Amino acid sequence: MFGPRSKTLLLFGAIIALFVVVGGLLGQYVFGSPLAGLIIAISLSLAINLVTYFLCDRLILWSNHARIVREEELPRLARIVQGLAPRFGLVSPRIALVNSETPNAFATGRDDRHAVVAVTVGLLRLLDDRELTGVVAHELAHVKDRDILVMTFAATLAGAISYAAQMVIFSSLLGGRGRGQSASWLVVLLAAVGAPIAAMLIQLAVSRSRESRADAVGAQTTGDPGALADALQKLAPANARYPMTQGSPASSSLFIVNPYGGSWFASLFSTHPPIQDRIARLRAMGRSPVYTVPIRSPIASGAFPNRSGSR
């Protein structure tokens, strides 16, 4: 009754509801009318949704300094993607390269025909072919379930809620038109502090559930859960030691592991499940008798040879 897709729809609906509520408060304090705020909130929501739907891949690639590359530029990655895509029932997506030594990867696009699998230079150097196959399978699982579109919507709307909440508190401090109405300072405080945190928690719930699902779907499709587990074992400490300095932390939920590091407090709001939990689940899958012979994806050596050597 409440599977992954149903839970995601409920969480996504909660984000939109928060957006409308904060919009109503904004209208009361700025225009003296909650209805005006609701109209503004709904209009902005529709505009954000349309822009995000049609331009999400371009926006994400641009914000992370990624460029689309030809197959001959990255033959090793291209052949892994082309070998795995049919197993997921997908058209082979485009590939992109991020000029960063931080080893990481992400996928974007509204559907498989507009999908892009992007990897960093550091990822291609660090992982061997088997581990890279596990990472690509994880990203293709996101493409198959259209996770990237949902998570981009969630991140964009959550950011809009935070911005609208800030406008509520600034308007109340400056004496907005609704200051003599029934809304109290407690409501303003909840809007300014509670709404952004609630939006963030909802976004994190969407991202965490989909990361775990992508791990499982990718491992089941390749038949080699240990490949992704081994990759995560390398990626976690590498990203902690050498966090990404380019791009926007707002897009951290799109990467296979958090590329921006952070403090202990920031880890409470991490968009990813704990790495060790993910690895443990994959190791447990690998001990199942179902996974005895991993697949061999077509791979060719090319640019950015891995340091561990091809298998």
The catalytic residue among 71, 101, 139, 211 is 139
CA atoms within 13 A on the CB side of 73: 9
**Beta carbons of 157 and 21 less than 8 angstroms apart:** no
Q: How far apart are CA 186 and CA 193, in angstroms?
A: 10
Known catalytic residue at 101:
no
- H helices of the chain, where? 4-30, 34-63, 75-84, 121-126, 129-144, 147-173, 185-189, 195-222, 225-241, 264-268, 275-286
User: Which residues make Cβ contacts (< 8 Å) with residue 238, sequence separation at least 6?
Assistant: 102, 103, 122, 126
Q: How far apart are CA 93 and CA 82, in angstroms?
A: 8
Q: How far apart are CA 135 and CA 119, in angstroms?
A: 10
Q: How far apart are CA 195 and CA 286, in angstroms?
A: 41
CA atoms within 13 A on the CB side of 280: 5
3-state secondary structure of 162: helix
Hey, which residues are catalytic here? 139
